[in-house]
């Protein structure tokens, strides 16, 4: 009886991270807790793969990974769990900008530096995080708008009425706020551009497909779809195709899409998407180099923006598509 109890206690201890003690090989590893938003898109899946590859044991890390399944409360739980496990660093890919002050204050009280990746956070005290790395989402949106303006100009349609359907990502996410801001600016600058509807596509193909189907039943006509990520564009293309409505060709609905994952580039080459605005998800090595700098006692830049491009059909080559890493 006693023996069985002891065995049970020992196995429980082994299951509890932190209590079992770390082996000599694990001692020198940098322990990182990474709270990821979810796996809502091809972009996100590529981002997770990049982070996991960069923060591998072979590279000197012990990675505690948590997928929050698109819920902020899961991210808050994950971070509190990382704090309890006394990780060396926390990396957060936040779902939205707001709601982080308390939990990051807890991390700070426990002297755990926090790196933010991808979307930004809006905190009263900027010292609650060490560094952020990600994209300039406003620049991405403006890149899409400039392309559209040039395209319409070239087609002699600059003064014509333009009906735009806007499919939005997760509300409150920087990628949504800033891409939306670029379109809002453009609508203000072009009185002949009309916003027909805004659909909450939540960055997923399934949601966008469902909303697009519903929208098409309303019979409203559109000229452009401004879709805040590729997966929502895929959903929209599917709904359009099922309804027998052509897109991408001359005089057909133009779809402007964000991320430029390989599948989107292929659709652009095949003439379904008109523009793929790049958003680079390969942040693993960037985060790793920030962590290395911190581990050396350095002070990395507060904000690091990634360089990005945009592709339309005329610019795409088989080589670009082949070499796409995501
Ligand atoms: O565009 C989308 C993803 O925050 C940049 O989130 C990211 C966005 C990306 O789900 O595909």
Which atom, in ligand 1's list, is nearest to the CA of 42? Answer: 11
How many whole angstroms from 95 Cα to the centroid of ligand 1?
10
Place of tokens 């805040």: 228
Same domain, 148 and 266: yes
Residue 297 has pLDDT above 80, yes or no: yes
Quick one: tokens of 195? 């916003």
Residue 300, SS3 per DSSP: coil
Q: Quick check: is 2 in a domain?
A: no
The reply to whether 259 falls in a domain is yes
Q: Whose CA is nearest to atom 5 of ligand 1?
A: 175
CA-to-CA distance for 137 and 123, rounded, in angstroms?
19
Q: Are 47 and 285 in contact (CB under 8 A)?
A: no
| Higher-pLDDT residue of 40, 28 | 40
C-alpha to C-alpha distance for 45 and 66, rounded to whole angstroms: 13
Q: Is residue 306 part of a domain?
A: no
> What is the arithmetic mean of pLDDT over 79-83?
98
pLDDT for 266 equals 98
Sign of the C-alpha dihedral computed for residues 58, 43, 67 and 75 taken in this order: positive
User: Domain for residue 7, yes or no?
Assistant: no
pLDDT in tens, 218-276: 999 999 999 999 999 999 999 999 999 999 988 999 999 999 999 999 999 999 999 99
Give residue-wise pLDDT tens across range 115-173: 999 999 999 999 999 999 999 999 999 999 999 999 999 999 999 999 999 999 999 99
Pairing relationship of beta strands 310-312 and 275-278 according to DSSP bridges: antiparallel
* Whether residue 148 sits in one domain with residue 47: no
Cα maximum dimension of the chain: 87
Choice between 146 and 24, residue whose per-residue pLDDT is larger? 146
Within-domain flag for 59: yes
Within this chain, do residues 274 and 152 fall inside the same structural domain, yes or no? yes
| Closest-lying ligand 1 atom to the alpha carbon of residue 231 | 11
| Helices and strands, counts by H and E, the chain | 12, 12
Average per-residue pLDDT for the chain: 94
| Shared domain check, 317 and 172 | yes
From the CA of 43, how far away is ligand 1's center (Å)? Answer: 6
How many domains, the chain? Answer: 2
Atom number in ligand 1 closest to CA 93:
4
Residue 149 sits in the same domain as residue 263 = yes
Q: Are residues 166 and 259 both part of a single domain?
A: yes
Q: Are 199 and 233 in contact (CB under 8 A)?
A: no
Of 165, 179, 167, 185, which is closest to residue 277 (Cα–Cα)?
Answer: 179
CA of residue 209 relative to chain centroid, distance: 19
What DSSP designation does 171 have?
Answer: T
Q: Which of 46, 51, 118 to mutate to test the pocket of ligand 1 (most atoms within 8 A of CB)?
A: 118
Same domain, 117 and 54: yes
Q: Are 147 and 310 in contact (CB under 8 A)?
A: yes
Cα separation, 220 vs 243, whole angstroms: 13
Determine the distance separating the centroid of ligand 1 and the alpha carbon of 234, expressed in angstroms: 14
Q: Are residue 130 and residue 242 in the same domain, yes or no?
A: no
- pTM, entire model: 0.92
Residue 104 placed within a domain: yes
Residues having CB closer than 6 A to ligand 1 are 40-41, 43-44, 118-119, 173, 175, 203, 229, 258-259, 279
Question: In whole angstroms, what is the distance from residue 301 CA to residue 283 CA?
Answer: 15
**23: Cβ–Cβ under 8 A, 6 or more apart, which residues?**
none
Q: Which atom of ligand 1 is nearest to the CA of 134?
A: 5
- The CB density around residue 11, as the number of other CB atoms within 10 Å, is 9
Q: Which residues of 237-258 are buried (b: 16+ CB within 10 A; e: fewer)?
A: bebbeeeeeebbeeeebbbbbb
* Span from the CA of 174 to the centroid of ligand 1 (angstroms): 9
| Pair (247, 130) in one structural domain | no
Looking up residue 318, the CATH number of its domain turns out to be 3.40.50.2300
Q: Are residues 177 and 272 in the same domain?
A: yes
Does residue 12 belong to any structural domain of this protein? no
Whether the CB-CB separation of 266 and 203 falls below 8 Å is answered with: no
Positive/negative CA dihedral, 126, 127, 131, 132: negative
Tell me if 287 sits within 8 A of 243, measured CB to CB.
no
Q: Structural domain of residue 115, as residue ranges? A: 29-135+281-295
Residue nearest to atom 1 of ligand 1 (CA): 229
Helical axes 205-217 vs 230-242, angle rounded to 10°: 40
Within-domain flag for 300: no
Cα(203) to ligand 1 centroid in Å equals: 7
**Same domain as 267, residue 146:** yes
Q: Do residues 128 and 163 both lie within one domain?
A: no
């Amino acid at each position: 009886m006693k023996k069985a109890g002891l065995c049970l206690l020992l196995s429980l201890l082994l299951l509890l991270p932190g209590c079992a003690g770390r082996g000599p090989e694990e001692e020198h590893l940098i322990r990182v807790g990474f709270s990821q938003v979810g796996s809502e898109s091809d972009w996100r899946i590529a981002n997770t793969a990049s982070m996991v590859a960069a923060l591998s044991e072979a590279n000197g890390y012990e990675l505690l990974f948590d997928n929050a399944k698109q819920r902020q409360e899961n991210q808050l739980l994950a971070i509190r769990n990382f704090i309890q496990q006394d990780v060396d660093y926390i990396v957060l890919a936040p779902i939205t900008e707001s709601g982080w002050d308390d939990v990051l204050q807890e991390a700070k009280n426990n002297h755990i530096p926090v790196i933010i990746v991808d979307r930004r956070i809006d905190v009263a005290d900027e010292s609650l995080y060490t560094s952020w790395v990600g994209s300039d989402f406003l620049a991405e949106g403006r890149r899409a708008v400039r392309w559209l303006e040039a395209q319409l100009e070239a087609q002699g349609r600059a003064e014509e009425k333009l009906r735009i359907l806007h499919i939005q990502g997760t509300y409150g996410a920087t990628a949504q706020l800033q891409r939306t801001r670029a379109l809002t600016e453009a609508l203000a600058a072009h009185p002949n551009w009309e916003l027909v509807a805004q659909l909450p596509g939540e960055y997923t193909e399934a949601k966008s497909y469902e909303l697009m189907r519903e929208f098409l039943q309303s019979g409203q006509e559109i000229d452009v779809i401004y879709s805040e990520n590729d997966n929502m564009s895929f959903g929209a293309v599917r709904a359009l195709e099922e309804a027998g409505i052509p897109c991408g060709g001359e005089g057909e609905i133009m779809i402007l899409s964000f991320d430029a994952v390989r599948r989107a580039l292929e659709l652009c080459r095949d003439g379904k998407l008109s523009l793929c605005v790049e958003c680079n998800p390969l942040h693993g090595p960037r985060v790793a180099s920030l962590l290395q700098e911190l581990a050396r006692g350095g002070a990395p830049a507060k904000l690091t923006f990634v360089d990005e491009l945009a592709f339309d059909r005329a610019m795409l080559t088989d080589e670009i598509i082949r070499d796409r890493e995501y």
